Amino acid sequence: MIQPGGPGAVFNFAFGNHTTTHYYISLEFPDGTRAEFVDKKRLYGILVEGDEGIASIQGEWLVDFSRNMIV
C-alpha cells in the first residue's frame, strides 16, 4: 500500500551546475512493515496514497508497481 510521505518525497543532489532529483515512494507490506524506495521509473505521477498492488523492488529501487483493480 502506498503510504503517507510517498509518493513524492523529494531529495535533491547538487553537483556544480548540475542538480539531480530523486523521488521516494513509501510502501507498507502485508506484515505491517514500511520502507521507502527510490522511484527509478517515475511512478510518482501515477500513484496515490492508499493504492494497493504488487511492487517490484530491486535493492533500494522501486522498479514497477501493478495496482490491484477494484471491481
Q: Express each pLDDT in 19-63 by its tens digit.
A: 777 888 889 888 989 998 988 888 888 888 888 888 999 999 999
Model pLDDT, residue 4: 45
SS (H, E, C) 6-55: CCCEEEEEEECCEEEEEEEEEEECCCCCEEEEEECCCHHHCCCCCCCEEE
End-to-end CA distance of the chain: 18
The pLDDT of residue 7 is above 80: no
- Span 12-24, mean pLDDT? 72
